[in-house]
A and B are shown apart, each in its own frame.
Chain A
Amino acid sequence: MKIRSDIVRMYRDIHSWVGIVCGLALFIAFYAGSITMFEAPLQRWASAPMSISEHTPLEKTPELVEKVLAEYPKAAINYEITLEPGIERPARMSWSSGPRGSGTTYYAELGEDGSLQVHSEGPSAVGQLVDDLHRQIGILIDHDIAMPIMGTISLLYFIALVSGVIVLLPTLVKDLFILRIGKNLKRMWLDLHNALGLFSLPFHIIMALTAVVFAFHDQFYGAQGALLEKNGRAPAEVQVQHHQPPLNPQQIVARLQEQAPGFEPIYLNYHFDKDHGLEMRVAGSNSRYGMRGATFGYAGVDPFTGDITVTSYMPGEQDGWFATVTSFFALHFGNFGGNPVRWAYFLLGLAGAVLFYTGNLLWIETHRKKRRKGYEHLGVTQTRASKILGALTVGVCLGCIAGISTTIAAAKLLPLRAIGADAMFTWHSGIYYGVFILAIAWAFVRGAASGAVDLLYASAVATLLIPLVSLLSALVPGFGWNHGGSGYLIDLVAAVGAVSFVFLAQKTRKRIHSAPEYSIWYVADVLSTKPDTIGKMEASTAK
Chain B
Amino acid sequence: MKPPVLSSRNWFGKAGAGAVAGFFLALAICGMLVQFGPLEIGFFSARAQLTMWLMAPLWALILSFCFLFHNGARAWTWLGGANLLLWGLLYGSRLLMA
Contact = CB atoms under 8 A, between A and B. Distances in A.
Contact of B46 (A220, A225, A228, A322): A322
Interface string B43-83: 11111111111011101110111011000000000000000
Contacts of A235: 44
A212 B23 CA distance: 13
B27 A228 contact: yes
A224 B52 contact: yes
Contacts of B64: 158-159, 162-163
A321 B50 contact: yes
A326 to B, nearest CB: 9
A227 interface: yes
A230 to B, nearest CB: 5
A221 interface: yes
Contacts of B67: 10-11, 14
Interface in A210-249: 210, 212-213, 216-217, 220-221, 223-225, 227-235
Contacts of A7: 6, 68
Contacts of A225: 41-42
A229 B31 CA distance: 8
Which bucket holds chain B's interface residue count?
35 or more
Contacts, number: 111
B8 A13 contact: yes
Contacts of A210: 56
A167 to B, nearest CB: 12
Nearest to B97: A229
A155 B42 contact: no
Interface in A404-423: none
Contact of A10 (B7, B52, B63): B7
A189 interface: no
A231 B34 contact: yes
Given A6-B5, A232-B41, A328-B53, A208 B60 contact: yes
Q: Which of B8, B47, B63, B90 has the most CB atoms of chain A within a 10 A radius of its CB? A: B8
Nearest to A312: B46
A213 B53 CA distance: 6
Interface in A131-161: 155, 158-159
A212 B7 CA distance: 27
A227 B40 contact: no
A342 to B, nearest CB: 24
Chain B interface main SS type: helix
A426 interface: no
Contacts of B5: 6
A224 B46 contact: no
Interface in B1-55: 3, 5-8, 11, 23, 27, 30-31, 34-35, 40-53, 55
B27 A223 contact: yes
B60 A209 contact: yes
Contacts of B42: 225, 230-234
A227 B7 contact: no
Given A213-B56, A224-B51, A228-B41, A14 B11 contact: yes
Given A159-B63, A163-B64, A228-B27, A325 B49 contact: yes
Nearest to B43: A221
Contact of B41 (A231, A321, A322): A231
Contacts of B27: 223-224, 227-228
Q: Which of B5, B11, B48, B52 has the most CB atoms of chain A within a 10 A radius of its CB? A: B52
A232 B47 contact: yes
Interface in A114-139: none
A229 B35 contact: yes
Given A7-B68, A227-B27, A229-B41, A220 B35 contact: no
Contact of A232 (B11, B40, B53, B90): B40
Contacts of B8: 9-10, 13-14, 17
Contact of B56 (A4, A162, A212): A212
Contacts of A220: 52, 55-56
Interface in A2-38: 4, 6-7, 9-11, 13-14, 17
Nearest to B50: A325
A366 interface: no
Contacts of B57: 209
Interface in A490-526: none
Given A229-B31, A230-B41, A325-B53, 11 more contacts: A10-B8, A14-B67, A162-B61, A162-B64, A163-B64, A221-B52, A224-B52, A227-B27, A227-B31, A228-B90, A229-B35
The 3 A-B pairs of least Cβ separation, nearest first, read: A232-B42, A321-B46, A13-B8
19 contacts: A6-B5, A7-B68, A10-B7, A10-B67, A155-B63, A158-B64, A209-B57, A210-B56, A212-B60, A213-B56, A216-B56, A220-B56, A228-B31, A228-B34, A228-B41, A230-B42, A312-B46, A319-B46, A324-B46
